[in-house]
A and B are shown apart, each in its own frame.
Chain A
Amino acid sequence: MSEAVKTVKVTIDNITVDVPMGTTILQAARMIGGDVVPPAMCYYSKLQGSGGKCRTCLVEVSKGSEADPRPMPKLVASCRTGVMDGMEVKNMTSPKVEDARNGVVEFLLLNHPLDCPVCDQAGECHLQDLGYQHGKQGTRYEFKRRTFEKHDLGPYIQLHMTRCILCYRCVFTADQLTDKRAHGILSRGDHAEIATYIEKSLDNNFIGNVIDVCPVGALTDKTFRFKNRVWFTKPVNAHRDCKCCSGKVTLWQRGEEVLRVTARKDQWGEVEEWICNECRFEKKKTAEWTIEGPTHVSRHSVISQGHYENTIQPKETFTAVNGGRNPQLLMDIHSVSEVNNPSIDLSLINGPATSDVYNHSTKQS
Chain B
Amino acid sequence: MASLTNRAKVLEQKPMSFMERLYLPAIFKGMAITFSHMFKKKATINYPEEKRPFSPVFRGLHVLNRDEEGRENCTACGLCAVACPAEAITMEAAERKTSEEHLYREEKYAAKYEINMLRCIFCGLCEEACPKDAIYMSETFAPSNFTRKGFIYAKDELLIPNPVTDKEKYEIAKGLREAQLKNK
User: For the complex, is B64 an interface residue (Cβ under 8 Å from A)?
Assistant: no
Residue pair B154, A363 in contact (C-beta under 8 Å)? yes
Main secondary structure of the interface of A (DSSP, over half): loop
Residue pair B82, A305 in contact (C-beta under 8 Å)? yes
Q: How far is the CA of A351 from the CA of B96 in the complex (A)?
A: 12
Main secondary structure of the interface of B (DSSP, over half): mixed
Q: Which residue from chain B places its CB closest to the CB of A359 in the assembled complex?
A: B111
Residue pair B78, A229 in contact (C-beta under 8 Å)? yes
Mask, B5-48, CB within 8 Å of A = 1, is: 00000000000000000000000000000000000000000000
Stretch of B51-59, B85-93, B162-170, B172-180 contacting A (4+ beta carbons < 8 Å): B85-93
Count of chain B residues with a beta carbon within 8 Å of a chain A beta carbon: 29
User: For the complex, is B108 an interface residue (Cβ under 8 Å from A)?
Assistant: yes
- Note all chain B residues with C-beta closer than 8 A to A122: 77
Residue pair B106, A354 in contact (C-beta under 8 Å)? no
Q: How far is the CA of A330 from the CA of B148 in the complex (A)?
A: 10
Count of chain A residues with a beta carbon within 8 Å of a chain B beta carbon: 32
Stretch of A80-88, A128-136, A284-292, A331-339 contacting B (4+ beta carbons < 8 Å): A331-339
Residue pair B94, A338 in contact (C-beta under 8 Å)? no
Residue pair A337, B92 in contact (C-beta under 8 Å)? no
User: For the complex, is B95 an interface residue (Cβ under 8 Å from A)?
Assistant: yes
- Note all chain B residues with C-beta closer than 8 A to A308: none
Residue pair B114, A337 in contact (C-beta under 8 Å)? yes
Give chain B interface residues in 60-119, CB to chain A under 8 Å: 75-79, 81-82, 90-97, 100, 106-108, 111-114
Min Cβ gap B105→A in Å is 10
Which listed residue, B75, B81, B94, touches A355 by the CB 8 Å rule?
Answer: B94
User: For the complex, is A192 an interface residue (Cβ under 8 Å from B)?
Assistant: no
Q: How far is the CA of A346 from the CA of B111 in the complex (A)?
A: 13
Q: How far is the CA of A195 from the CA of B152 in the complex (A)?
A: 45
Residue pair A118, B92 in contact (C-beta under 8 Å)? no
- Note all chain A residues with C-beta closer than 8 A to B152: 336-337
Residue pair A338, B77 in contact (C-beta under 8 Å)? no
List residues of chain A with CB under 8 Å of any chain B CB. Answer: 115-118, 122, 225-229, 231-232, 302, 305, 330-331, 335-340, 346, 351-355, 357-358, 363, 365
List residues of chain B with CB under 8 Å of any chain A CB. Answer: 75-79, 81-82, 90-97, 100, 106-108, 111-114, 131-132, 148-149, 152, 154
| A115-B106, A227-B93, A337-B152 known, 9 other contacts, Cβ within 8 Å | A117-B106, A226-B95, A228-B78, A228-B93, A336-B148, A339-B91, A346-B92, A353-B111, A355-B111
